[in-house]
Chain A
Amino acid sequence: MRIGDAKQSYAADEALWTSTTQQVWFGLLLLSLLLFPFFASPYLLYLACLVGIAVISATGLNILTGFTGLISLGQAGFMGVGGYTVAWLSLHTSLPFPIALLAAGLLSAAIGMVIGLPSLRIKGLYLAIATLAASVFLHFVFVEWASVTGGMAGLSLRSAQLFGLTFHNDFRMYFMIMPLAVLMLLAARNIFRTRIGRAFIAIRDRDISAEILGIPLLRYKLLSFALSSFYAGVAGGLFAYFYRVVTPESFPLSMSIFYLAAIIVGGMGSILGGVLGAIFMTLVPEGLKLLTTAITPIYPQAPVFMSPLLGVVFGVLIVGFLIFEPNGLAEVWRRIRRFFHLWPFRT
């Protein structure tokens, strides 16, 4: 049990990891992330890459929806912009991957700001539907602008490049995805230690009083859109490098819903929540797959039910968490931690 948090200074009080124990845990976590690929099976490595991408995208959506209160059904569209940018750059230039990913993020952010423009006048569900419209337009562009996007067939990429190194397998991709995920998570966490993050939350909680307290609404809503779609764009770019092919169907509406589900299940307005949700939601389908493989010998029809069952499970998770644990896995985690802090003195 750990007691006492009388802080020596405000700096110590405002630190991310407020105790040595926490710092140690964080160090251990980083170390295990670093060593993981050397011990993991190819399958686990593959999963870790998927989780990393999902974590980045979910964190982006969480900034917009969870923290700023602007619901977006356009996440997949923004990821698509990033994915196509990276694919196009990979085919037509030999830029190193960090530049390509940056370009993906920036282009996506720019489009995000355009789509965020109506947010000054429309709110809530009207805005959600505007983002839905935007993703329909983006999908249309992906399909029809064939000279750039390759139409329905999409684009196949070359492997990512950096200083003559090619990222052609999951092992190397891991070292591209995971550091980026960690970095972008820390950056997101930092935002919410400053005035910008506070402004986002204020807009979510009560936008009109936020404005009277000095927050220019349009600027901050656009900033949130930009930031969120930057994350989505980078995630989409990584997605493209990882699968080395993008098509319009790589970024369906159901993907946007997947990410909404992830932040709901994980915990809206909590960085940790976004991470937990992304991990959980990425692993659920894999769990189902394992289950299906296990029972196929007994029940050969099982694989047929795999994909619809997944839809049912996603739906039940969304509804269940909203009704029974609206603060998501992050809250569950907090409860577990509190339990161990006080243990063995109280339950």
Chain B
Amino acid sequence: MHELSLLENVRSILEDHARDQNFQRVEEVTLAIGALSCVETEALAFAFEAVMKGSLAENAQLNFKHIEAQGHCLGCGQLTVMEMLYDACEHCGHPHVDVVTGLEMKITELKVS
């Protein structure tokens, strides 16, 4: 359940921003999660309410933006879509692909008041 630690981090980031940008409440939080990131959006959604309780984001709405995973093929040099870390290149079948996008887990947007 590292989702709990990640959400505690989210809460702490929200508090930093509240101080710097002068807001009191967070109404919505949008997270961008890559297809290869090692986090379950369902587990995040499940724990979100509990972790935000008593904070400035209590009862905030949680949104997800999914980021497709793409890699750079070490065989043919093209970009290829990945569903797993060890997917082979969709163009040439080369087994080794360097991940370019899809490992992200980040906060991208807040609706605050």
Instruction: Decide whether A and B are members of one complex.
Output: no
